[in-house]
Structure 1
Amino acid sequence: MTEPVDIAELRRRLAVDRENTLERIASLDRNFAAVVEGSRLSSTDDEHDPEGATIAFERSQISALLASSRDHLVEVDRALQKIADGGYGSCERCGRSIAPARLLARPAARTCITCAAPRRA
């Protein structure tokens, strides 16, 4: 027998995760703007600077972190919407219930552990 899912607790966790993700996105946006501004103000050849990462690398790294954070925000918002619609906790692939332990570990999970496992050929 599986334990029941505390939807209110998971909604609270998702809301906290959402706020933290929004803060992370805002911080990364500021960092990105600072790197771009720094590249405009700098006339040095950072591509050949043996002391540190290039501005292009920093921009690329921040861009990747921003994309990942924005994707995560979409997942969290999707989970919150599913709670509001009453469909939270059902696997999007097979339709079975997602185990409470999985939802506690990953409240934005969209699939059960079986469907999330990599498929072998």
Structure 2
Amino acid sequence: MTVTMTPAQLERFQAKLLRERADAEERFAEFADAMSEVRAARSDASADDEHDPEGPTMTQEWSQRTAVLADARAELAEVDRALARIADGSYGVCANCGKRIAVARLDARPTAELCIDCARLQR
């Protein structure tokens, strides 16, 4: 069942997705730079912060920043998949059942690939 969105809706969601992509790219760049700093500090043999009770260890910093980078990378991939669906005409159609995804759901989560019913079944 193919249900298309109006051109105005598609333009609105594309603009929203492009803004989300820009935000995710900014976070990714910021944390990639921060990772370089932590990487450099970790390679400095004189930097023994593992025994510093005042702050987080480099291992903690590395772990936290790695998680943020992974989240930003995953968000970029989700946004890119949504933009590809806009380009191929399948945006707003549930990838599971083929029904239209409610506009309210897409407003809340523009990268949604599933309608609310199918998303609930996957939990």
For residue 118 of structure 1, report the CA deviation from its aligned partner: 5.3
Deviation digits for residues 39-88 of structure 1 (CA, Å, limit 9, x no counterpart): 23361432222111110110111011101110110000000000000000
Runs of 5+ unmatched residues, structure 1: none
The residue type equivalent to 2:112 in the other structure is: A
For residue 117 of structure 1, report the CA deviation from its aligned partner: 1.6
Aligned residues: 117
Q: Does 1:72 find its partner at 2:78?
A: no
Q: Does 1:41 find its partner at 2:49?
A: no
Identical positions, percent: 45
Runs of 5+ unmatched residues, structure 2: none
The secondary structure found in structure 1 opposite 2:50 is helix
Q: Whole-Å Cα distance in 1 between the matches of residues 109 and 45 of structure 2?
A: 43
Q: 1:83 to 1:119 in 2, by over 3 A?
A: closer
Corresponding residue to 1:57 among 57, 60, 65? 60
* Residue matched to 1:96: 99
Q: Whole-Å Cα distance in 2 between the matches of residues 118 and 62 of structure 1?
A: 32
Q: Whole-Å Cα distance in 1 between the matches of residues 122 and 68 of structure 2?
A: 27
> Which 4+ stretches in 1 moved above 6 angstroms?
none
TM-score by length of 1: 0.88
TM-score by length of 2: 0.87
Q: 1:119 to 1:81 in 2, by over 3 A?
A: closer
Q: Whole-Å Cα distance in 2 between the matches of residues 26 and 57 of structure 1?
A: 20
For residue 101 of structure 1, report the CA deviation from its aligned partner: 0.1
Q: 1:119 to 1:72 in 2, by over 3 A?
A: closer
Q: Whole-Å Cα distance in 1 between the matches of residues 121 and 55 of structure 2?
A: 38
Q: 1:80 to 1:119 in 2, by over 3 A?
A: closer
Q: Whole-Å Cα distance in 2 between the matches of residues 119 and 33 of structure 1?
A: 37
